[in-house]
Structure 1
Amino acid sequence: MLFDKEDSAGYLINHLARLFARELQDRIQPLGIATGQFPILLELWNGDGLTQRELLGEIDVEQATLANTLTRMERDGLIKRTKHPQDARAQQIWLTDKTKAIKADAYRAALETNQEALAMLSESEKVIFLGLIQKVIGTMRSE
């Protein structure tokens, strides 16, 4: 059996993700954040005070990776953690004022990255492309 990376969805999606990450990193680095932190921030900008377990359910990374990233984010003043009022074993994760202040700029960086990357696609192609990606993600999440 031959493997051709140009016919491999996994290889191509991974390559595309690395290109997106590199472009996004260039845009968000001046804000003091990194691409590995971006999915966490997106969730917290949608709803502050999540637990680590709730974040794990949304961003599909390993628990140890998330724990290390949160530790660095806390060290860098991007988040703060407090004891959960109903669960003594859990902590809630909150955005700092510093992180709340960069939300619009971070969103703008992500929008510009997406617009630039998809510029060669028509509007209908963008809808199809994004729909197919969402469908694959849904399939893989349900496995």
Structure 2
Amino acid sequence: MSNQATENDKNKDLNIEALTSDIAYRIVDKINKQSDKTKLRNLIDKSLGVLANNGVYAYYVYIISQKSNEATTLFLDEMKDIFNIIGNYDTSNRENYFQHISQDLHKLLFLKQLLEKTLIYARYHAKALGD
């Protein structure tokens, strides 16, 4: 069986809308448990801006440049299910994943759409909860 067939079987029952909204909920839920909620909520907007204006790799670099375990956990590790739709995401080798994914324009643009949707949902969810 080819890799393409295996990948299609794995994703055929995947509900992307449910996945993105669930991840957005988990991100906001974890932010609300942190001591510095405002900074992390602002990071949703800032990372969305970087992603929209500069792309997926810039998003990755921006998140790791925060030098914050919370940022990495929330905006990379929580997104692992999305990253795994596109390719094998390994938290121990993130750099390689983001460089590799940039070689396939279709996958890259699809990943960007999924990340944007998730961050937009997270932003609205955070605003709905208020302070």
TM-score by length of 2: 0.32
TM-score by length of 1: 0.30
RCO higher in 1 or 2 (8 Å CA, sep ≥ 6)? 2
- Between structure 1 and structure 2, the one with the greater Rg is 1
- The structure richer in helix per residue is 2
- The structure richer in strand per residue is 1
